[in-house]
Amino acid sequence: MNCVPIGFVSSPYKIRGDAPKQGRLTDEVSIITLDPAYMDAAEGLCIGDDLFVLCWFDRSDRTVLKSRKFGEEQNPLRGVFSTRSPNRPNPIALTLVKLVSVDGCGLTVRGLEALDKTPVVDIKPYSDGIDTPRND
């Protein structure tokens, strides 16, 4: 189960302390530069789209099974599958962003919290119909 990078993030966050806990907390933009080999897969993306970006957090600790919310000592330890901690067995981050502009292979998005040079592994359109909780 080998992931390939479809592109890389250029962001203002160079080291872990720079990044917000969640991209939602900032208006910063980042650029996803797609590998030209995958440009055909981006056809149909439109300015203003809400997109899930799946990144491979290559600077995460994959051995961590429990963590504290926001890494703060006063919060209780919880299993990482019940948190959004970047440290987890498969360090795939899920972030809902807004597509701001497209310039060739460069997708400018608002709301990503990934560090500079983070590999991107997938992009998916958000859909109200399937991405909101079930009522049952």
User: Which position among 15, 17, 40, 74 is part of the footprint of a second copy (CB under 8 A)?
Assistant: 40
User: Which position among 29, 42, 102, 105 is part of the footprint of a second copy (CB under 8 A)?
Assistant: 42
Does the footprint of a second copy cover residue 103 (CB under 8 A)?
A: no
Using a 10 angstrom Cβ sphere, with 0-12 exposed, 13-18 middle and 19 or more buried, the burial of residue 57 is buried
Q: Which is nearer to a second copy, 116 or 119 (CB)?
A: 119
Amino acid making up residue 5: P
Nearest to 98 by CA among 106, 89, 88, 108: 108
Judged by DSSP in three states, 123 sits in strand
Does the footprint of a second copy cover residue 84 (CB under 8 A)?
A: yes
Tokens of 11: 């962001």
Does the footprint of a second copy cover residue 126 (CB under 8 A)?
A: yes
Q: How far is the CB of 118 from a second copy (least distance, A)?
A: 11
Tokens of 130: 């399937």
Q: Which is nearer to a second copy, 2 or 74 (CB)?
A: 2
Query: Residue 51 in contact with residue 109, Cβ under 8 Å?
Result: yes
Phi first, then psi: give them for residue 68, nearest 5 degrees: -105, 140
Positions that interact with a second copy (CB under 8 A): 1-6, 22-24, 27, 38, 40-46, 49-50, 52, 54, 56, 58, 65-66, 78-84, 88-90, 92, 94-98, 110-111, 119, 121-127, 129-134, 136
